[in-house]
Chains A and B, each alone.
Chain A
Amino acid sequence: MSWEDTLREVVRKYYRAGSSDPPSWVATTATQEPVTLSNATCGDRVVVYVRPQPRSTGESGWIWLDVAGCAICKASAEMVVRAADTLDVVGLEKLAREMLSNMAQSSDPDGPVPPPTAAPSITAGTVPGEDVAVILRLREVPGRRRCASLPWEAVLRTLESR
């Protein structure tokens, strides 16, 4: 799949053209102090909101990401939110670590072809593994890697700070 096809696929499935309205609890509930993370190469920004007492299994919408960024960044953030629908704090933290670890791997473009990206061990129920793999393909595009990793990094930082 070409990069253009990858982008099309990500956009089709996850891209939110505008900034969607946040869930009501963001404004009405006392939330954990939101964590803000920026992409130093382009100025894009992710703000993470978490309910104070997340979560019992089956409860959705315990985490919210406000994104000012590109299609990849927004799509990656949407994946985080969807994954959180079926994961608790520990599970999402583990998934974020795996995603970031996978995205951090780089290879010499003139060297041997790297092995396929390993799928995260946790299956995020509402995010198909092949979609996760699409995002992980961005490790082959160093200039866009940070776009995809920013939401995961922001989430990990948020959950670690709890």
Chain B
Amino acid sequence: MIGISDITQVRSQFPVLSRKMRGHDLVYFDNGATSLKPECVVEAITGYYQEYSANIHRGVYEMSGYATAKYDAARESLRTLINADPATGEVIFTRGTTESVNMVAHGWGRRHLKPGDEIVLTPLEHHSNMVPWQQVAEATGATVRYIPLTPGGSVTPAAVEATIGPATRIVAVSAMSNVTGYMPPVDLITAAAHQVGAVVLLDAAQYASHHPVDVEALGCDALVFSGHKMCGPTGIGVLYATRALLDEMDPLLYGGDMIERVSLEGSSWARIPEKFEAGTPNIAGAIGMGRAAEFLMETGLDRIAAHERDLYRYMSERMAELDYIEPYGDAPPEERGGIFSFAMAGVHPHDVGSLLDQQGIAVRTGFHCAQPLMDHFGVTGTVRASFYLYNTREEIDRFVTALERIHSILA
């Protein structure tokens, strides 16, 4: 079965969808910012706090052991979600994608980069996969280079080939733009990077929650994503990295839980993954994210991706009826996820967003933490509608009707 066949059953698992917003049934099109949470994830989180809220690891009593087992099981669920083999790579729990990128940028970059080295990004990166690299470049004397985009914001093979070269040490690119939903050719980029011996980090914050991910097949050295965009809680995320890369990385944080031995003279580090998880972790968050991963696998990420592709196509068709709507991104639908970014002629994105809110429709407006891409498009912001497994064509119809009303008010 491809696509979501029983949307009513899916929607019934998300309690927030039963609420009203401004007196209307909620249409939640802000999934690029964060997803809604299914009942099973909420139960997993509250279950920890209500039934076994002990600290993990060295507790020798039953409840601590149970909490440790649930935490470890969550890691196992995340491994399964991305097909990570613990023999060759590991899942590290972090606070989210931003922290995951910073762990690699500072933990690996500061140790290995030097003047003359090049860090390759694209201009479509979220700030969280751009600013850390700019900082590391400044600290090490390395240079940041960007794979140039087409006017519509896509990456061509020629641009990849022209940018990645002998001086490239790391390539950090988004697997899916949080603005246009465009999915760059990460297989081609990874191959080009590996050909020159560079490390590849994929920012899968938008991608991993909507598509099947296989890190073995992707061949990347690191992959980062957040729990809250994939039906999980906020404040938890994942850095997946190969053991080879992790062995070359320093921890970002030092302290308890990440040590093997501490003496007055110095300290040595615990094994991976504990080496990179200093302090008491976000136990409930990890358990919630693990449950979210199971939920997505039970639903089927291939089905979710197909459902969102259908919504994107339908949205494109409906929006084409409105001659005052300018969509962003020139990639064909098969190279895009469920994100539709646009401008309404003569109306500021914030004003569109506020008036959609009045009709019970939640979208994101502004520059979406991607100012260089806004500069590329020559705008300060866009309106972004982003879909997930619980969205419907009927909601898109309501959205289009709402836009027509807004245009009549403001344009």
Contacts and interface: CB of A to CB of B under 8 A. Distances in A.
A96 interface: no
Nearest to B380: A43
A7 B354 contact: yes
Given A42-B366, A43-B371, A4 B380 contact: no
Q: How large is the interface on A (under 10, 10 to 19, 20 to 34, 35 or more residues)?
A: 20 to 34
Nearest to B409: A8
Interface string A43-54: 111000000000
Interface in A108-162: 141, 143-144, 147
Interface in A60-87: 68-72
Contact of B381 (A11, A42, A141): A42
A129 B358 CA distance: 25
Contacts of A90: none
A72 B355 contact: no
A42 B349 contact: yes
Given A3-B358, A42-B365, A42-B367, A70 B409 contact: no
A144 B354 contact: yes
B145 interface: no
Nearest to A45: B380
B380 A68 contact: yes
B367 A2 contact: no
Contacts of A4: 355, 358, 409
B358 A2 contact: yes
Contacts of A43: 366-367, 371, 374, 380-381
Contacts of B365: 42
A30 interface: no
Interface of B is mostly: helix
A44 B380 contact: yes
B348 interface: yes
Interface string A1-40: 0111001100100000100000000000000000000000
Given A42-B365, A43-B381, A144 B350 contact: yes
A41 interface: yes
Contacts of B348: 44, 69-71
A141 B354 contact: yes
A42 B371 contact: no
Given A42-B365, A42-B366, A43-B371, A3 B380 contact: no
Contacts of A42: 349-350, 365-367, 380-381
A70 B383 CA distance: 13
B350 A11 contact: no
A17 to B, nearest CB: 7
A70 B406 CA distance: 14
Contacts of A8: 409
A5 B187 CA distance: 50
Contact of A7 (B355, B380, B381): B355
B117 interface: no
Given A43-B367, A70-B349, A70-B351, 16 more contacts: A3-B357, A4-B358, A7-B355, A8-B409, A11-B410, A41-B366, A43-B371, A43-B374, A43-B381, A44-B380, A70-B348, A70-B350, A71-B351, A72-B350, A141-B354, A147-B350
Interface of B: 346-351, 353-355, 357-358, 365-367, 371, 374, 380-381, 409-410
10 contacts: A3-B354, A4-B358, A7-B354, A42-B365, A43-B371, A44-B381, A70-B348, A70-B350, A72-B350, A72-B351
